[in-house]
Amino acid sequence: MKLFLDSADPKEIEALVATGLIDGVTTNPTLAAKTGLSFFDSLAAICKMVPGSVSAEVTAITANEMIAEGKKLTAIAPNITVKVPLTWDGLRACKTLSDAGHTVNVTLCFSPNQALLAAKAGATYISPFVGRLDDGGHDGMELIREIREIYDNYDFRTEILAASIRHATHVREAALAGADVATLPPSVFKALIHHPLTDKGLAAFLEDWKRGGQSIL
């Protein structure tokens, strides 16, 4: 499963890209607004440091305007993925942009039927929001599993990008459910490595080595 960072902050992203484990980035208008930086400058900087897909979301609501914004965004860098909402206009824009050779991420997916339409529109990625479904008392991971089954039934090439990830358990469940990608807030990415038994075991190894009085270097 590929791991994307859900952030629009170049400094935050740069620090975690250094791990060599980040495959891409997703941004949205809310994340971009929080940085206080120029949207286009931030995207250009992020695209230079991340070799994979960088999702940049349109803010228009009509298909023609989304297409125009999408074309402007893709001019920033070749690894920009245009992010459009799962509306009729968004799907029309998706179809036009994907037919023109651009990668498209269809966002705000909350049902298998929506995911089916996005795949038929040529979406590169579909972004089901598992955390928001959980917040409303639904099973977000069940949506991932249902989309996986539909896509496998018909050999759709659209990748399932698990979004609205809230904690490390969501990452594990998304991987088990067959998501192709999970996009994570930096805090969740950092939490993936932690386990108390790892810390305890390392401390014991180092203490035993110290008592032995030896050195590797």
Q: Which helix (H) or strand (E) holds 41?
A: helix 39-49
Res 13: pLDDT: 97
pLDDT tens-digit series, residues 107-152: 999 999 999 999 999 999 999 999 999 999 999 999 999 999 999 9
Res 48: pLDDT: 97
DSSP 91-156: HHHHHHHHHTT--EEEEEE-SHHHHHHHHHTT-SEEEEBHHHHHHTTS-HHHHHHHHHHHHHHHT-
Domain-by-domain residue ranges, the chain? 2-212
Mean pLDDT of all residues in 52-75: 98
Q: Under a CB-based contact definition with an 8 Å cutoff, are residues 158 and 119 in contact?
A: yes
Res 168: pLDDT: 98
Q: Under a CB-based contact definition with an 8 Å cutoff, are residues 185 and 30 in contact?
A: no
Res 4: pLDDT: 98
**CA distances (Å), 47 to each of 10, 73, 137, in order?**
9, 12, 36
* 125 beta partners: 105, 159
Q: CA 203 to CA 83: how far, in whole Å?
A: 45
Res 89: pLDDT: 98
Q: Under a CB-based contact definition with an 8 Å cutoff, are residues 51 and 19 in contact?
A: no
Res 63: pLDDT: 98
103: confidence class by pLDDT, cuts 50, 70, 90:
very high
Q: How many helices (H) and strands (E) does the chain have?
A: 11, 8
pLDDT tens-digit series, residues 151-195: 999 999 999 999 999 999 999 999 999 999 999 999 999 999 999
Query: In the CATH scheme, what is the code of domain 2-212?
Result: 3.20.20.70
91: confidence class by pLDDT, cuts 50, 70, 90:
very high
**CA distances (Å), 84 to each of 12, 24, 62, 138, 150, in order?**
24, 17, 11, 24, 21
- In total, the chain counts a number of residues equal to 217
83 is catalytic: yes
Kindly name the residue from 11, 83, 120, 190 that is annotated as catalytic.
83
pLDDT tens-digit series, residues 29-52: 999 999 999 999 999 999 999 989
Q: Using the structure block, give the residue that is written with the tokens 């909402």.
A: 85
